[in-house]
Amino acid sequence: MTDPQLGQALGQALVEEATKKSALIWVRGPGPGRALWHIWHEGATYLVGDGPGEQPLPGLADGSTAEVTVRSKDKGGRLVVWTASVAELPPHSADWETAVSELKGKRLNAPDAEEMPERWARECRVLRLTPQDMTTDLPSDSQAAVPLPTVATTRQPAPASLGRLLLRRSRPSGD
């Protein structure tokens, strides 16, 4: 195996293992990036969303590409960034059935566990993100977005006595 082939094989292994172990991935298509839950199955990531009660999949369209950032499960930092080709699976196709059976097992707090696949077929999209390229040179900055302005802010400093009130031990009652 030559050095480029070895590097590619190691990159694919890193993408697969990191994506399998991470509960959330950051996916950025043409729109803003979002944290999305997913599954890894047979060399690709699968997502379900864009329906009532499901995660939004903004900007992810059939035939487009997306940038996927995978974080560390224990520390939360970036491990790997990879480019994916996006494919929408037609409802009730063989690939769709396989993906939905895997996704169903990972979907938390579903209000309709037994009827969920039919609801997904009617109201949601199931996407396959297939790795195309891995980025080894991660950006040095945090890439954190500036928070949007809001009226929900503290208008004045907290009172100095607040710390004492919070740390005061409760005294036994005089009963």
Domain 3-143: state its class: mainly beta
Q: Count the residues in the chain.
A: 175
- The pLDDT value given to residue 42: 92
Q: Under 8 Å CB-to-CB from 45, ≥6 apart: which residues?
A: 19, 25, 38, 39, 68, 84, 128, 129
Q: Under 8 Å CB-to-CB from 21, ≥6 apart: which residues?
A: 73
Assess whether pLDDT exceeds 70 at residue 1.
no
Extents of the domains making up the chain: 3-143
- Residues 16, 41: Cα–Cα separation, whole Å: 9
Residue-wise pLDDT for 51-99, tens only, equals: 888 999 988 999 999 999 998 878 777 888 899 999 999 999 999 999 9
The Cα angle at residue 17 between residues 15 and 21, in degrees rounded to 5:
115
Going by C-alpha positions, the residue among 97, 46, 92 that lies closest to residue 68 is 46
- Residues 40, 45: Cα–Cα separation, whole Å: 4
The token pair at 46 is 């699968």
DSSP 41: E
- What is the overall mean pLDDT for the chain? 84
Residue-wise pLDDT for 112-165, tens only, equals: 878 999 999 999 999 999 999 776 566 677 767 777 677 776 667 777 777 777
- pTM for the full predicted model: 0.75
- The pLDDT value given to residue 139: 64
Residue-wise pLDDT for 17-55, tens only, equals: 889 988 899 999 887 789 999 999 999 999 999 988 899
